[in-house]
Structure 1
Amino acid sequence: MFVAIPRFPLLDSALDIATLSLILALLLFSFLSFFFILHLRLKSQTAPYLHGFSSLWTVKLILVSSIALWSLAELLQAPFLRRRYLYPSPLSLTQQAGLCRLHSILSLGLFQPAFLVTLLFLVNVSIKQQNPRSVWIVTFVLGTCLPLVSLQSFTHFSSPIYPHLPDYFFQSSVHFRDGFGNETVLCTNPLLGTIVFGAFTILYCLCFLLSCWKVISLVINKGLRARIYGLAIGVLIPLPVQVVLLVMSAFSEPGKPAFGGIEFGIFVAPLLCAAVSESILVFRPIADALSAVGDCCLRDPLPTVKETETTTFAGGP
C-alpha cells in the first residue's frame, strides 16, 4: 500500500544533513573516547599510580561501543542515506522495509538499552570499593537486553496473531510515493514496540534516579555533585521526551513535516543522553586523571598511589 503525500525537499534535505552530521559527530566522539580509555589503560600498566583511574575501563568500553553501534544503526532509518550512500545501487522497497524493521529492533531493543544499562551499571559501581569482573558486566548487560530484543522482535512479527488491532501497532515502515512519482519507504515506530520501550524507560528512570541519589549522598565535592546533577538531567529528561515522541509518531501521518520533526526529535533525545554520558563518565574522569598525574609529577617524579588518588566520579575507587 502506497501513501501519496507531497514532499518538502528542502526540509527533508536539512533533516538528512543534520542527522548525518550528528551521527558523524557522535561517532567521532565515541572514537576519541575509545582511544583515551585504551590509552589510559595501557599507560596504567607501566604507571602504578594510574591503576585507580583506569579500574573501570571495561565498563566504559562497553558504554562507548554501545553508543557507537546505536549511531551506526540510526543510519538505517534515513531514507536518503539508505538510497544514496549505504549501498552502491538503490534498494528495493522490500529491502528498505526490512532495514526499517531491523533498525527498530536493534535501536529500541538492543543498542540503546545496552548503553543505558551500562550507564546505570557504571554509576552504581563508581562508588564501590571493589570493581566487578568483566564477565559479570557483559552478563548483566546481555541479561537485560536479550529479553527486550525478544519482545521487540515479537511486536514486529505478531500482526497475524492480533489481526483485530490497527496497523500502527505493528507497522515499522510505510511505502511512500512523493509528488514526483518517486517510490521509497519511510520508517515508522510500531506502537507495541513503543509500549515495550516505554515500560523499560519508566523502570530505568526510577533505578537511575535512585542510583544518582545514592551517589549524591556520598559525594561532598561540589564539582562532582554538579556533574551528577548534569548527568541526571541529561538522562532523565531526554528519555521520557523520546517515549512521548514515539507515541506521537505512531499517530502521525508519514510524509508530513510534523512527522519528520518528530522522528528527528526521537533521534536527538538519545543522542543527547549518549553525549552527556560520554562527556561526564569518560572524558572528564580521564582529564582529571591526567591532570592529577601531571600535578604529582611536578612535585615528585615518582608519585605514589596515595598521592594521586582523588575522588573522581566514575573514575574508579
Structure 2
Amino acid sequence: MPLTNIVADALGVLTICLVGLLVLLGLFCIIYSFYFHTRIHNQGYIQLDYFSSPWIVRITLILFAIWWGFGEIARLNFLRREGRILNALNLKWQESVCKGYIVSNLGFAEPCMFLTLAFLLRSSLQRTDSGTLTQRWNGKTAVYVLLCCFPLLVLQLGVILLDPEFNPKEKSKVFFRKLPSYFTSAVSSKNSVVFCIYPLFSTAFLGLFAMVLTTYFIWIGRRIVKLVINKGLQKRVYTLIFSISCLLPLRILFLGLSVVSEPEKIWFEAFSFLAFLSLLCCAGVNIFLLVYYPIADSLALRRSLQDVEVSSSSYGNHHDTVSLIANQSYHPVEEIGNRGRNFNNSSGKCESIEEEEEVGGGFVELSLFCPSGHPSPPDSPQLHGWPMVHSN
C-alpha cells in the first residue's frame, strides 16, 4: 500500500474517532441541559431561571456541531476506497455526496454554529427586563440564525450549480469554463475513485464570513471582559475569543492551501485534516465554555442556596427557643430574642431590596445573597457571573 494511502487511512480513522468524542460530549451536554432545566423548574429556584432560559439555543449549538461532524465523516476519501462503505455507491452518487457536503457544512452547519455562538454572547449584554432569555427569545434567535446564514448558503449552492461539470451544456457558464477547475469543482475523480475537494470560491466566501464574524466576536468580547465580576470568568471569555479569532481563520487558511496539492497526495490529506482539527477544537472549547460551565456554575449556586436556606431555618429555630426560655425566666434574655427577630426582619428587607433590583433589570449576577442577612457558608464554591447591561 502506498504511503499516501496509509496516511489517508490513519487520518480518516482519527477523524472518525474525534467526531465520535465530539458527539459523546454533545450528547452529555444535552442531557445535562435537560437535567438542569428540569431541576430548576421542579424545585422552584426562580433566581436561576434566567440562566436556564437559553437551554434551547445551547442544545441547538450542540446539534449544529454534531451535524458538522457527521458531514466531515462523509467527505473522507478513506471511505471511498475499494471495499469501503461509500465505494458501494456509483460515481454519480459519490459526487453528489461531495457536493452536498460543501453546501451542508460550509454553507449551513458551520455558519449556523458560529451565529448561534454570537447570539449567546450577545444575550449576556442585555437587561433582564428586556425579555432577553425567554422562550420567545429562543424562537427568535433560531429564526435570526437561519436568516443570517441564508446568504452564505445561497453562495455555496451557487458555486456548486455554476460548476461547468454540473451542467456542461449551459452557455452562460463560459466564464467559469476558463477558470481552473479548483475554483468551482467540489469533486475530483481518478482511477474510478471520487475525491471530495474544497472549491476555492467556497473557501473565499467562508473566509469573508469568518472575517466579519471574528471582528464581531472580538468587539463583543472586549465589552464582556470590561463587565465581568471575577478573574476566573475573564479567563473564560479570553479563551472563547481566542479560540474563535485564531482557530476559525486557521481553518480558512488550511482549506485554501488544500488546492495547491492533488487530492490523492499526502499534503492534501494533511491540510484537510488540520482544517478539520482547527474547527473541532474550536467547537469543543465553545461547547464547554457556553454550555457545560454555565450549567455547572448554576448548579453549584443552587446547592449554595439550599445551604443558606437550611442555615437560616436553623438560626430562626434557635432564637425561637431562646425567646421561649426568656419568657419563663430572665428578662434580659429577651434582648437576644429581639435581636434575632430584628435580624430576620433585616434579612427580609434585604431580600425585598434584592427583588426590587432584579425587577429593575440593571444588573444580574450569580451571587444572589444579601451580605448581611445571608452569608455564604465557608465551604461553598466560588460563584461566577457577570453583570448584564443593555446593549445600545
Same fold per superposition (TM over 0.5)? yes
| Residue in structure 1 matching 2:183, options 163, 166, 169 | 169
Give the distance between the partners of 1:159 and 1:82, measured in 2 at CA: 22
Are positions 1:54 and 2:52 aligned together?
yes
The one-letter amino acid of 1:235's match is I
Deviation track 1:59-79 (CA, whole Å, cap 9, x = no partner) reads 212111111111111121112
Match of 2:287 among 278, 282, 287: 278
Residue 146 (structure 1) aligned to one of 150, 154, 158: 150
Per-residue deviation, 1:253: 1.6
Residues 75 and 82 of structure 1 are in contact (CA less than 8 Å); yes or no, is this contact kept in structure 2?
no
SS at match of 1:185: strand
Letter in 1 for 2:243: G
Contact 1:285 1:314 in 2 (8 A): no
Q: Aligned residue for 2:101?
A: 103
1:156 is aligned, of 133, 157, 160, to 160
Distance 2:120 2:182 in 1: 36
Rg larger in structure: 2
Aligned-partner Cα distance in 2 for 1:35–1:76: 26
Q: Which residue pairs with 1:180 in the alignment?
A: none
The equivalent position to 2:138 in structure 1, one of 131, 134, 138, is 134
Residue 176 of structure 1 aligns to which amino acid in structure 2? K
C-alpha separation between the residues in 1 aligned to 2:77 and 2:6? 15
Q: Cα offset for 1:313? A: 6.0
Give the superposition deviation at 1:145: 1.0
Encode CA deviations 1:146-182: one digit per residue, 9 max, x unaligned: 11111001011113422211111111111133xxxxx
Q: Is the 8 A contact 2:79 2:85 kept in 1?
A: yes
Query: What secondary structure sits across from 1:52 in the alignment?
Result: helix
* Partner-residue secondary structure (3-state), 1:53: helix
Alignment partner of 1:237: what SS?
A: helix
Alignment RMSD, CA only? 2.6
2:237 maps to which of 204, 228, 232: 228
The residue matched to 1:300 in structure 2 has which SS? helix
Structure 1 residues 250 and 312: alpha-carbon distance in aligned structure 2, compared to 1, 3 A threshold = same
1:265 maps to 2:279: no
3-state DSSP of counterpart to 2:190: strand
CA distance in 1 between counterparts of 2:144 and 2:248 reads 21
AA of the residue aligned to 1:93: L
Partner of 2:265: 256
Task: Give the letter for the 1:131 counterpart.
Answer: T
Q: Secondary structure at the match of 2:52?
A: coil
Mark the runs of 5 or more structure 1 residues left unpaired by the alignment: 178-182
Paired residue for 2:17, among 10, 16, 21?
21
Q: Which has the higher contact order (CA 8 A, sep 6+)?
A: 1
User: In structure 2, how many angstroms separate the alpha carbons of the residues matched to 1:32 and 1:82?
Assistant: 31
Give how far 1:308 is off: 5.8
Matched, 1:77 2:71: no
Counterpart amino acid of 1:95? W
Contact 2:225 2:237 in 1 (8 A): yes
| Equivalent residue in structure 1 for 2:116, among 115, 118, 121 | 118
Deviations 1:254-306 (A, max 9, x none): 11111110010111111111001001011111111111112222332499997
Query: 1 CA distance for matches of 2:262 and 2:177?
Result: 21
Q: Are 1:190 and 2:194 matched, yes or no?
A: no
Could you tell me which of 234, 237, 252 is aligned with 1:243? 252
CA contact (8 A) 2:183 2:200 kept: yes
- The SS at the match of 2:198 is coil
Q: Structure 1's 40 and 192: CA in aligned 2 closer, same or farther, altered over 3 A?
A: same
Give the C-alpha shift of residue 58 in structure 1. Answer: 1.9
Greater Cα shift, 302-311 or 113-122: 302-311
Task: Give the partner amino acid of 1:33.
Answer: C
Classify the secondary structure of the residue corresponding to 1:118.
helix
| C-alpha separation in 2, matches of 1:138 and 1:86 | 35
Q: Once the 2 structures are TM-superposed, how far is the Cα of residue 86 of structure 1 from its aligned partner?
A: 5.3
Output the CA distance in 2 between the equivalents of 1:39 and 1:85: 40
Q: Residue 69 of structure 1: SS of its match in structure 2?
A: helix
- Distance between the aligned counterparts of 1:114 and 1:37, measured in 2? 20
User: CA offsets per residue over residues 7-48 of structure 1, 9 Å max, x none?
Assistant: 523212210111001000000111111111111111121123
